[in-house]
Amino acid sequence: MSIPITELLLNVEKALDEIRPFLKSDGGDVTLLSIENNIVNIRFEGACTSCNVNQMTLKSGIEMTVKKYAPQIEKVVNITP
């Protein structure tokens, strides 16, 4: 049974809201772009775009938190402009 997209979207946003204070404390942020085929597409903002540990933040922070709120998500991908 699949979860309605609106519920999935709300769960992913809750996860991002949990991690945002940590990103903002370093001058960064994250924007949800889309959810497609259980893959969350985000874009780092501010200082996160040039941070040399943003891949670690993506996997160990954002992706883990998103999966906590939405276990059906397979991965989170940073889409660079």
Q: Which helix (H) or strand (E) holds 76?
A: strand 75-78
Q: What domains lie within the chain, and their CATH numbers? A: 5-78 (3.30.300.130)
Is 0.85 surpassed by the pTM of this model? yes
Dump pLDDT digits (tens) for 2-31.
677 789 999 999 999 999 999 999 999 999
> 52-57: long-range contacts at Cβ-Cβ below 8 A with a sequence spacing of 24 or more?
54/78, 57/23
What string of DSSP letters covers 5-72?
A: HHHHHHHHHHHHHHHHHHHHHTTEEEEEEEEETTEEEEEEEEGGGT-TTHHHIIIIIIIHHHHHH-TT
